[in-house]
Structure 1
Amino acid sequence: MYKNFKIGIRAKIILGYIVIILCLLASVIILNNQITSLQKERNFIIKYDSQVQTLTNRIEKYILDMETSQRGYIITGDSSYLEPYYKAEENWKVDFDQLHQLLENRENQQEKLNAIKVTIEQWISTSGEPTIQFKKENNTEAINEFFKVDVGRKDMETMRNQFDAFRSDENTFTQNKAKQLDQRNSKLTTGLFGILVLVSFISIIIASGISRSIVKTMKEVTQTIKEMAASKGNYRTRIHVKTNDEINDLANATNELLDAFERREWLQANLAEIVTKYQGVSAITKLAETFLAEMAHKTQSTFGAFYVREMHNSDVVFVKKAAFADAGDNVGIEQFKLGQGLIGQCALEKRMFINHDISKEYRVIGTGLGEAPPKSVFIFPIIFEDEVIAVAELATMTSYTVLHQELVKQVIETFGLTVNSILGRMEIVRLLNESRAMTEELQVQSEELQTQSEELQMQTEELTMINEQLEERSKEAETKSQQLEKAKKELEDSAEQLVLHSNYKSQFLANMSHELRTPLNSILILSEMLSENGNNNLTEEEMEFARVIHSSGEDLLALINDILDISKVEAGKIDIIFDEVNMSEMPQQIEQIFAPVAKKKHLELHISKADNVGDIFYTDEKRFQQILKNLLSNALKFTERGYVHVDIKQLDHGQLTTNMQEVSAEWLEIKVSDTGIGIPKDKHQLIFESFQQADGATVRKYGGTGLGLTICKEFAKLLGGWITLQSEEGKGSSFTLTIPSLPNGLNETVIDVAYEEVVATIEVPETIEEVQKQVNESRPVSPQEVEVFQGKNILIVDDDYRNIYALKAALENRGMNILVAKDGLECLEIMEKNNAIDLILMDIMMPNMDGYETMSIIRTKMNLTDLPIIALTAKAMKTDRDKSLEAGASDYISKPLNLDQLVSVLRVWLVSKGS
C-alpha cells in the first residue's frame, strides 16, 4: 500500500506546514473548550447561588407573612388580614417545589429542605389554622389557652435556625466550587505552555525528516547513474529508491528504459535465431517440427502441436503435422474444423488465446520422472493474406509472460509467408505428378472417343428415322386433341343443364312443400282440437283416432321438412352463419329437452362436458343443435334398455393433424353413445344414403324416413367437420361429431383437405319434431289465455277454406271474434270498413292479390304501422321469411301451423299491442 501512495517533495514540505498548523489549531480548540467550560461552570455557580438564596428568602418571608396575618386577624378580627395569609400559603409551596427540584443532585440539602417543610406544615397545622378557626368561632377562651403555651413561637424559631443552617451549607458549597475553578484555571495555563513546547518539537522533527529524505534520495539516484555509466552498456543494473516521490519517478522511468532496451535486445536475438533455424526447409512436416522445437525452447514450453489447413470434401479442416514432447501417445487431436473447440475458435476468429485456468483433467506433460498437468496454454494462428493457413498450440508448467507473447507475435508475422511458400511448392509437385498421370489417361480416353464417335454416327441415322415417325404421331395427337376439346364443350353444356335442373328441382320441392303444407295445416289443427275434446262430446276411441291423425300429420310434416332440407343442401341454398355458441349452457339445454323422453323409456341419460371445453365456441348454432338433437333422438328411439351418454370434449393439440391445425386451433368432439340395437358393419355406409335404413324390420318397428342421417352428414360438412360411427349389431352405437371453431367462417379448401383425412361413416337420427311430439302434451285452454284473447277481433286472410275453418274453430274456442277474407282485395275492403281489427293472420300465396302486396298497402297507403300482421306461408325457404318481413309482416309462421306456437305468437302480439 505504501508503494501505491505517492508523496512528492513539494507535498512533503506542505504536509509539514499543515501538520504544524493543525497542531496549533488543535491547541487553540482545546484551550477554547477549556475556557468555555470554565465560563459555563462559573455562570452556573453564580446563577445557582442566586436562585437558592432568592427562593430561600422568599419561602421564609411567606411564612413570616402568614404569622403576621394570623396575629393581626386574632387581635382585630378583621378578615382582610387573612388575604396575605392564604396568598402566602399558596406561594411558599410553589417556591419550595422549585427549590427542591434545583437541589435534585444534592440529597443532603434536600433532606434539610424537607425538614424545613415539616416544621412549616407543623406550624400551620398546630398554630396557624387552629387559632384562625378559634377566632372565627369567637372562642376567646381557646385562644387565651393557646397563647399561654404558644407552641407556634417555638416552630418559627426552629424554622429560622433551619434556614440559617441551610444557607450556611450553600455558602460552603459555593466557595468549594470557586476553589475548584481556580485550580482548573491553573492547570489550563500549565497545559497551554506544554502544548506550545510539543508543537515546536514536532515541527523541528518534521522539517529535519523531510530535508534528510530529499538529500538522501538525491545521493542514491546520483550514485546509481554513475555506476550505470561506468558499466559500459550493462543494462542489468537497476536504481533502487525507497521513497515515493519525484526522485522515485525519475528512478522508475530510468529502470523502465533499461527494461525496454533489455527486452528489445532479447527479442531481436531470439527472432534472428528462430528464423535462421527453419531457413532452407522444404517439407511442411520438417518445418512444423523445427518451428515447434524452437518456440518451445524460447517460451519455456513443455508441450506443443502444429496443424495445417487442408480441404476435405469441400470442408476446411486443420490436420496435425507435428508435435513437441510426445510422451508415448499422440499429442493433441488429429484434426479439427473451424470453431471446433478453443483451437478451432482461434482459427475462426484469427486471434491468439491464452488460458491460465487449466482443468486438472487436461492432458498431462510427461518427463523421465513422471507426469504433471500444464498451468498455461498458448494457441495462436499463422495467417497469410488474411487467411489462417496453420494453427499452433503450446503448453507450459509455468506461465507465459508478455515477452513470450511478443516474441510469438513477431515470429508469426513472417512465418505465414514461409508456410505458404512450402505448401505452394508441395502443391506444385503434386499437380505435376497429377498432370503426368492425366496425360496418360487422356491418351487412353482419346482412343475410346474415336470408337464412340463411330457408334454415334450409326445412332444418328437411327434417330432420323425415329423423328419421322414422331412427326406422324404428332399429327394424330392434334386430331385427337380437337376431338377432346369438343367433348369438353359438350360436358360443360351438360354441367350447365345439371345446374339448371337442380334449380328446377329445388323450386319444385319448395312449391311441392307449399302444396303439401296447405292441406296438412288443416289436418294438424283440427286433429289437435279434436284430441283436446274441448266440448267433451267425443268418445275415448274418437279422441284416439284424432291423436293418430295428428301424429300421422306430424310424421308427414317431418318428411316434408327432411325433403326440403335435402333440396336446400343440394341446391346450395342453406346459409351458414358462424357466431358465438355458449357451450356452458349446452348440457342443461340437452337435458331439459331429452330428460322426459329418457325417463318415459326408463333409460339413463348422462351428459358430461370436459374441463378443457371453453365457454365460447364459434359455429352455426342452429345447425349444430339440430345435429345434436337428431343424434340424441336417434339414440333414444333405437334404445330399449340401458343408457344414452353424451360426452363433450375439446381435442388436444397432439390429436390434431397438420391440416386440422390449419383449419382451426380448437376442435370440439361430441360423442353420443347408446346401448341400443346397433348397426351391422356392412350397413355402416348404407345408412348415410337418402331414404335408407339398416333393414326393413327397422323401418317397420321404429319408423322414420331415412333422410335424417343424410341431412346431418351434409350439415356436419357445412360446419367444417364430420361424423364417425362405431357400432356392432346388438351392442349399441357410438356417433362422434367433430367440428372446428371458426370465428372467421369456413375456408372450404382447407376444410376439404382436413375432411379427406378422416374415413368417416356418418349417421344422424331423425328430426327433433319427433322428440317434441313425445314430450309435448295437449293442454286445455287456461283462464289466463281466455282473458288475453277474449273479445279480440282477428282477421284471417286465406284462399283455402280448410285452413279458414281450422283456424276459425281454434281461435273462437279461445274467445276471439273472427273475420274472414278470401284474398288481398277483400282484406283491404274489410280494413276500410272496420277499424277495430286487433290482428291479421295473412296467407302469402293467394289469387288476385298475394299477401306481400296486401301487407305493403296496409303499411304504406293505409298507414297502419302498429297493427300486428302475422304472415302464414307453406313455403319454408329462408328467403320467404325475409321477404315477408320486408313486405311489412310483424312475425312469420310456416305452415302447417303448430297450434301452441300460433297461440303463443298471438298472445305476445296482442299483449304488446294492448300495452
Structure 2
Amino acid sequence: MRFSFQQQVFTGIIVSIILVIIVGITSYEAILLQQENAGWVDHTREVIRSSSEVRNQVLTAETNLRGYALLNNHAFENAHQKASNNVLNQFSLLQKLVVDNPVQIARLDSLAPVLHSRLNLMSQQLDLIKSGKNSLDSLKYMIAAGQKLSAQLTLYFDHIEGMENNLLRIREDQALVSSSRAKQIILGGTAVFMLVIFILFYFIRKTYLAQVYSEGEALKANAELEKLSIEDQRKNWILSAAVEVSISIRGEPTEAELAKKFLHKMAKLTDASGGLLYVVNRDASAWELASSYAVDMRKDIPEFISVNDGLFGQIIKDKQSLKKLEAAPGYLKVSTGLGNTTPESVFVKTMIQEGKVIGLLELGYLNKPDDNVIKLLERVTDGVAIAFMAARERQLMKELLDKTQLQAEELESQQEELRVTNEELTRQSSLLQVSEEELRVQQEELKQINTELEEKAFLLEEQKGTLEEARDQIQIKADELEKTGRFKSEFLANMSHELRTPLNSILILSRILSENKAARLSDEEQRYAAVINNSGNDLLTLINDILDLAKVESGKVELHPEDISTELLLVEVRNTFQKIAENKGLELEMIKADSCPATLFVDHVRILQVIRNLLSNAIKFTSAPGSVSLIISQSENQWHFEVSDTGIGIPNNKQKAIFEAFQQADGSTSRKYGGTGLGLSISRELAILFKGSISLKSEVGKGSSFTLSIPVQTSNGNVDFPEIEPHVPVEEVKIKMPEPNKIVDNFKENRLLLIEDDPIFAEDMASKARDSGFDVLIASTGYSGLDMAKSFKPTAIILDMHLPDISGEEVLKELKSDSKTSLIPVHTVSAGDESIAQMLEEGAIGFMQKPVDKKSAEFIFNLLKLEGSNSEKKRILLIEDDAYQSQYFGDFLENNNLFVLYAYSGAEALSLLSRETVDGIILDIRLSDMNGLNLLDQIKQDPKWANLPVVVNTAEDLSQEDLSKVMRYSHPVVMKTRKSNERLLDEVNLFLKKFQPKQAPSIQKAQQFSNPVVHAERVFVGKKVLLADDDMRNIFALSAVLEEAGFAIVIATNGREAIEKLGETKDIDLILMDVMMPEMDGIEATKLIRKEQKWNNLPIIAVTAKAMQGDRELCLSAGANDYISKPVDIDKLLSLIKVWLHS
C-alpha cells in the first residue's frame, strides 16, 4: 500500500510530534531530578553554614565576655548579649534545617543541653563581674567549666559538620550524574528529531518535484489547447465576417450600390481607416473607381486605371492576389473632422473571376492589421467578384429588355412586312413578358418600400416639429420661471428693506424707552415700550423666517460644512433650551448614542437651525409634566437627529400639511400656541439641501418624534476638540443671608458683589476690595449671585466665568437682560482662555485672567468705582426766549443735579459762552434776535465749542432741509420736534445720560500695568463715527444710541456727502455706511474711499435692510470691514465697533 503525498506529510508530522513529546517528557524528568539534587546540595551547604554560624556566635559571646571582664566596657556587654541571642536563634534554624536527618536531630538534641549550659555559665560569669564580688577562685572555676563545655561543643559541631560534608560530596556526585544524563537525553532526542525532519523533508521535496513536473506537462497541454482555441476563434471570426459581407450584398443591387455596400462593410469589419474600390468596365479596357470610404477625394486619385498605369496596372497584369504597400507621405489621405491623416499600411486585393480581374480593392490602415483581416480579404473577394458579374448581367439583361421593347414597337409598325417572323417574335415576346412581370413585381416592391420610407420620413419630420415646439415652450416656461424667481428675490429684498428700515427705528427707540434709564416712565409705560420691542422682534423673526424659506427654495443657500464636536453641539442646544424647559416644567434630555462619532462634518449653523426649530416646536406643544429629548445617532451611512416629545401629537391626516409654509395641525392650534408655521417648512427645505429627509411618527395625545436623517460626510483634516465632562448636576449652595434692608442699611455707598466659587480666591479679592473702600457681598453660585444682585443692587459686580451651577456667560446675560441690574458694571475674571470680544459683547466692562495681582485688582476696583459712581455737577446753557419755559426747564435741570446758565437771546448766549465754561447746550430754534440755526452755525464754527452736546428744542416743525442741516454737525446732537411737554422732558432726561465723568488719574496710571484689562465703554469716549444714511428715522435712532455710548457723530445723507464729510472732518475713527442711498449708494462710496491711500485702514461697517444672499460678499468685496443688517441689533453693533476700534 502506497501513501499519498498528503498522507506522507501527515505521517511525518505525527511521528515528529510523538518524538518531540517523548524527548520533552524525558528531558523534563531529567531536569526535575537535576533540580532536586541541586536543591539537596544547597540544603546541605546551608546546614554547614548554619552550624558554623552557631559555633562562631558562641565564640563571639566568649570573646566579648572576656573583653568586658578586662576593660569593664559596656560595648562588650552589649555585643555579648547580642551574640548570645544570635546563638539561640541560629540554633533553632539549624534544628529546622536537619529535620530530614534523624542522626543529626539526635546529635542536636544531645548538643542543646551543653549549649544552654555554656550560655548560662557565661550569664552567671557576667552577673558576677557586674556585681563586683568576683573572687579569683570563683573566676578560675567558671573559666575551667567554660573551657570544658566549649570543648564538648566543638566536638559536637565537628561531628555534625563532618557528616554534612560527607552528604555534600555524595549529593554533588548525584547532581553531576543527573545533569550529564539530562544533557545526553536532550542531545539524543534532538538528533533523532532532526533525523526524522530530514527524512520528512526528503520525501516532501521528492513529491513536490514530481508535482512540479506534472504541472509543467499540464501547462504545455493547456497551451496547445489555447492555440487551438485561438485558431478556432480566428476561423469563426472569418466565417462570421464573411457571412456579414454576404448578407450586406444580398438582393439585386446595382453595381454602384454593391460597390458601396461591400467597401463600407469591409472597412468596418477590418477597422480600415480608408479605402477605394475599382471595377472593370464592360469592354475590359480599364477599371473605373466605383466607391470610396473616408478618403480625401483630391484630384490626383485616378478615376480610371489601365494595365499600363503604374503599380496598379502591374498588379492587374500579373493578377496578383494580395499586395501589401508601404504608404508614402501624402499617400491616400484619410479625412476626419479635425483634418487628414495618412495610413501606416495599405493592402491591395484583386477580385478574380474565371481568370479575369473583375475589381481592385484598396484598404488603408492606421495600424498594422492582423492575419485575420488578410484571410478575410482572400476569402470574400472572389465571391464578391461573382456578385459584381451577376449585377452586371442583370444590368445587361435590363438593357436588352429595353432594346427588345423598342424592337417590338418597330415590329408592330412593320407588322405586315414581318408577318413571317411573327411566331419567333411571339415566343420572344412571351419570354420578355415573363421578365417584364418579374421586373414589375420588383418595381412594386420598391414602390412599397419607397412609400413606407416616405411615410416614416414624414412622421419623423412631424415629430421633429413637435419636439421643437415643445422645446420652445419649455424654454419660454424656464425664462418665465427665472424671471419670476428674479422678481421674487427683488421683491423680497425690497420688502426686506422697506420693512427693516422703519423696524430698525422702532426696535432701537423702544429698547431705549423700555430700559427707562432716565426713570421718567411709569411701570405701565415701560411695559408698553417692552411690548413694542418684543412685537418688533417677533416681526423681525417672521421676516427672517420668510427670507430664509425664500432663500432655501430659490437655491440661494449654500452649505459650509465643518468639523463640530457632537458633545459641544449637545451642550450648545442644552444651554439654549434648558431654562425654557424648566420654566414649563419639562424634562429635557440630550443623548449621544454609542454609534454616534465624536465629530460631525456638517454646516454648524444650518444643522443647529433645524434642531432648534424641532426642539422649539416640541417644547411649545408639550405641557407639564412631560419630557423632550434629542438623540444623535448613526446608522451605516446616515446621521440621525431625533427630537421626541410627550406633547399633544399630530393626526395622521395633518402630518403632511404641517411641513407646508404657514401651516399647523389646525386653526385652533395656531390660535392656542401661536407661531407662523414656517419652522418645519424651513427645516424640510434645509434637510433636502443636506440631501436628507425629515420623518415623522406621531400619535394624538401621546407625542411626536421628528427624525432628521442626512448622509454621513467626512472631512480631509483632523480636528481635535476638548473633551466635554458629562453633565453632573451640582447641588445648589444655600447661603443663609440677613434681611435685605438690614444689609443695605449697613453698607456704605460702594457695595461690591463678588460671584466666585473658589473660596480662597473669593476671600483674597474681598480683602483687596475692602482695602479699596468697598463693602463686599460674596455668592458662591450663579443663581445665588443673581438673587443677591436683584435684592441688594450693588454698585459693581466681579463675576467668575466658571461656576458650579450655571456658566458665568449665562449669569452675565441674565444681569444685562434684567432692567433692575442692567446698569450695574460687571467685570469678569477667569482661569481659562475666554473670548474677550465675547465678554464685551455680552455687556462686561472688562476681562482679566487669573491669577490677579494686587495692582491689577486695584485697577479693577478703581474702574468699577468710576463706572458705578455719579458724575459731578455739570453746567448747562439753556437758550430759550420764553421766560416761563426757560424757568420751567431750568428748575427741572437743577433738580437733576445740573447747574443752569440762562440766555434769552442769541447775543446773550454768545456772550455767556465767551465768559463761562459749559458742558452742554439746550437751544430753542426760534429766538428774538436771530434764528437758532444761525446761532448753531456760529457756535459750531468756534473750535472751543465744536464738540459741545446740543439738544434742539422747538415749538415748530422743521423742514427736511433744516432737519438735515441740524443733524449734519460732527458732534452729539439729540433733535426735538414739536411735541408735548412730557415728551420734551423725556428728551432732556435722555440728554442727561450723555455726560460721562472724566477718567481719574489713578485709572490712567493703572492702565500701564502689564496684566491686560479690557475696558468697554471707555473705548468709545471721544471717538468720532461718520453715520451715512438717507433715512432720518434711522439717523435719529442710531445717533441717540451712539451718543449715549460716548461717540461724537458726523452725519451724511448720501455716499457723495459721506466722502465730502470724510475729507472735511479730521480724526474720523469709524464709518457706518448704509448701502441703499440716493445720488451715490454705499457700495460705490466705499469703493471710492478705499481708493484713497490715507483711508485704507479706516474701519467701515456696512448697514443694509436687504440681507439677501450675496449682500455680505458684495459689501466686503467693495472694501467694507464688516456687515450688519437692519433692524440693527445694538449690542451686536457696539460689539462690532469695539472689535474694529481695538484692531
Specify if TM > 0.5: no
Q: For the pair shown, which has the larger CA radius of gyration, 1 or 2?
A: 1
Higher helix proportion: 1
Query: TM range, normalised to the smaller chain?
Result: 0.3 to 0.5
TM-score (norm 1): 0.43
Q: How does the TM-score come out when normalised to structure 2?
A: 0.35
